[in-house]
Structure 1
Amino acid sequence: MKKLLLATAVAALSVSAANAAPTVYGKAFVTADYVDAEVDARYVDNAGEKFSGNEDENTVEINSHSSRLGFKGSEAMTANTDVIYQLEYGVNVDASGDNTFKSRDTFLGLANKNFGQVRVGRNTSVLDYVNNVTVTEGYWDNLGSNTLNTESDLDIDENGRVVGFSEDIVQALNMVSDKRQDNSVVWIAPKYNGVPVELAVQYSADESFGSNDNGFGASLMFDQGTGFTAGLAYTKDMDANTKWTLFDEELSYGGDVIRGTATIDLNKYMAMPVTLGALYQVADYDIDGAEEEKGLVISGEMGLTNFARPASVYLQYNKTDNLAGLNNFDSDQVVLGGKYMYKDNMIAHAYIGQNSADITVADAFEDGDIARVDADVFAIGGGLEYIF
């Protein structure tokens, strides 16, 4: 009997340990990218004095894109409730920058069969829960790169006049996108039988002393498995929080973002392995004189059937008006790319794209001043993604 009790205890401990053991996962995604970036700056003050400058850079970059290492798991608390957890860190495989490791989604929470999930910690914004349209990868996975810093590029004397042109400011500029939220809580509603929607609600606390800039948001995704999906999300003082510098002036402000998306898998309706998607987004910044930032994404991806393994090509167009709330600050981007799966977890990528952005700022220093900056980025590259 003692031996039987001892065996039972050992078995119970083994099951408990197995349930508590985390799953280790991650991916490494490294590319080589040829980048041709150019910026033109022109300035005219109210006395008619002019300045113009140009900088052109051609380089081959080794880049790490969303590489990560994570630990996740769950353990039963009661018959219907589990403790869930995740610790995920971004990894710069190329070791560029000071932060080789950077926190991604990291939370502790509960999952209940009747009441859904609650995640507390650092969570992706619910705006990303309806990001089912963008298909670009690698260098061109740049939704959210919407700030322009010209302070270091236009040399200004003590009288506020532009007297020179210096450092590089060129990057592929795009509409605002989701940001991970520190000190946040996400509730994901349970899916009910016969209701093809997923609801998520988020609260984000700003714990800075004296600050009341707490944010919130919600998303709703419709997918009944017929090849058509639609999403709608709204966030307040979460994703539109922006800090940037223009002509020696630092701006910091929040705002609202509303995003709508739709995709259709044509292969569900006809013999055509093509998925089409559209995303439209409006960001309204809380700053006097700011314009609504309006963003549009149109994408298409087609599966290729004449390969031994799954492969696809994609085309995506991005258009943004009034980037970061600045009137006449617009960008256009078009990217062509493809993927080939050597195995389900080994994916080769190739792409080519162009991004053009321009900004015209009147009254930059004194009445009558006009400054104009044009930025163009061309990039072609490819690499390997390994998922484990």
Structure 2
Amino acid sequence: MKKLLLASAVAALSITAAQAAPQVYGKAFLTLDVKDDNGDNKNLKTELNSVGSRIGIKGGEALSANTDLVYQLEYGVGIDNERSVQFSPRDTYLGLANKQYGTLVAGRISGIDGYVDYANVTAGKPVGGNNVLASYDADRVNNAVAYFSPERNGLQFMGMYAVNELNAKRESFGIGAKYEPTDAPFKVGASYVQVQDGEASKATRVSGAYAISPVLTAGALYQNTDFNTKNNENAFTLSANYKVAQTPFTTYGQLDFVNNTKGIKDTKKQRIAVGGKYAFNKATTGHIYGAYQASKKADDKNTNAYGIGAGVEYKF
């Protein structure tokens, strides 16, 4: 899924006491999707989906000239139904932001590997989801503490630690770094996370992007995930994002490849996704997209899926 980078959000919250009023924000994103999960034209279905819709409150309070208390309370909402998704917790935290030493937050937080993703360009609810196809991808972690260093010449480090309150031996942690120089056409990053809550895994990720021209950007990602099996999962993503000159329209394409899905030997996933975004204004974006995915299971059975969709996204 698309992720609001916590490091960027916290930086924006370094405010003075005179600006300490809480900010209410959110997003409503509704799509209409037509999918066939088997690729045989017999299971065609139409869905109305609320994608990443949310509402939140964030803000800060100056404690000293260099240190702010920062907070965020964010909850997911389903604008298409009344199921249990209503007001489900997303990133919620309380922390301290210091201009010299960095930011420390605690709560329920997205995994830091999500900050090292320059390849995902999908949006809406295409076949396979609106993220890369790696089986572990920046899941939110409970009882977590995360640290983000100050950015120095485009370089930033981050770390995360979480404990399973029912079993102190099943702890999760992660480290990462990203380099985003202001005047350079490239961005790169790397992360390592070890997750012990639920299905244990260790994921090593590298990702980068390169601006080929002012309107064309290419991205790539590789992730090796160890599910404590003999065969590690290997996931690759390649993408391109093209802004049509002198128009509010942007097109994109993404290729995903996964071998040994979830550590199961000889299983594979391959997907191609294409789409476009039309910026009506700063708050409202129209989306159209399509995707095709082919999967091979351990028993050599193949499954194909395809679908198209369109939607409107409004941010406030």
TM-score, normalised to structure 1's length? 0.73
1:128-139 superposed matches below 5 A: 128-139=114-125
Find the aligned partners of 1:197 and 1:328 in 2 and give their Cα distance.
38
1:13-162 superposed matches below 5 A: 19-38=19-38, 56-95=42-81, 97-140=83-126, 142=129
Find the aligned partners of 1:345 and 1:324 in 2 and give their Cα distance.
38
Equivalence for 2:135:
175
Find the aligned partners of 2:160 and 2:124 in 1 and give their Cα distance.
28
Note the C-alpha offset of 1:372: 4.6
The reply on whether 1:188 has 2:148 as its aligned counterpart is: yes
Change in Cα spacing, 1:292 to 1:372, as seen in structure 2 (3 Å) is same
Note the C-alpha offset of 1:20: 3.8
Letter matched to residue 352 of structure 1: G
Note the C-alpha offset of 1:255: 1.9
Of the three residues 296, 311, 316, the one matched with 1:383 is: 311
Equivalence for 1:197:
155
Query: What's the CA shift string for 1:231-290, capped at 9, x where partnerless?
Result: 10110126xx55xxxxxxxxxx3121011011011225xxxx10000100100112xx44
Aligned-pair identity (%): 31
Query: What's the CA shift string for 1:289-334, capped at 9, x where partnerless?
Result: 4410000000001111253xx2111010000011111111110000
State which structure, 1 or 2, has the greater radius of gyration over its C-alpha atoms: 1
Equivalence for 1:255:
201
1:198-277 superposed matches below 5 A: 198-208=156-166, 210-225=167-182, 226-237=184-195, 253-267=199-213, 273-277=215-219
Note the C-alpha offset of 1:21: 2.0
Q: Which moved more, 1:92-101 or 1:226-235?
A: 92-101
Find the aligned partners of 2:241 and 2:195 in 1 and give their Cα distance.
33
Q: Secondary structure at the match of 1:66?
A: coil
Note the C-alpha offset of 1:196: 1.9
Note the C-alpha offset of 1:19: 3.9
Find the aligned partners of 1:132 and 1:186 in 2 and give their Cα distance.
21
Find the aligned partners of 1:127 and 1:70 in 2 and give their Cα distance.
23
Find the aligned partners of 2:190 and 2:169 in 1 and give their Cα distance.
26
Contact (CA 8 Å) 1:187, 1:200: kept in 2 or not? Answer: yes
Equivalence for 1:294:
234
Find the aligned partners of 1:19 and 1:305 in 2 and give their Cα distance.
38
Query: What's the CA shift string for 1:203-243, capped at 9, x where partnerless?
Result: 011111x45110110111101121200010110126xx55x
Q: Secondary structure at the match of 1:38?
A: coil
Find the aligned partners of 1:327 and 1:181 in 2 and give their Cα distance.
28
Note the C-alpha offset of 1:375: 2.5
Q: Secondary structure at the match of 1:343?
A: coil
Equivalence for 1:281:
223
Note the C-alpha offset of 1:113: 1.2
Equivalence for 1:47:
none
Query: What's the CA shift string for 1:169-201, capped at 9, x where partnerless?
Result: xxxx65321101100000100123xx3211111
Q: Secondary structure at the match of 2:280?
A: strand
Q: Secondary structure at the match of 2:113?
A: helix
TM-score, normalised to structure 2's length? 0.89
The reply on whether 1:313 has 2:251 as its aligned counterpart is: yes
Q: Secondary structure at the match of 1:386?
A: strand
Find the aligned partners of 1:20 and 1:179 in 2 and give their Cα distance.
30
Structure 1 alignment gaps of length 5 or more: 1-14, 40-53, 146-172, 243-252, 361-370
Q: Secondary structure at the match of 2:277?
A: strand
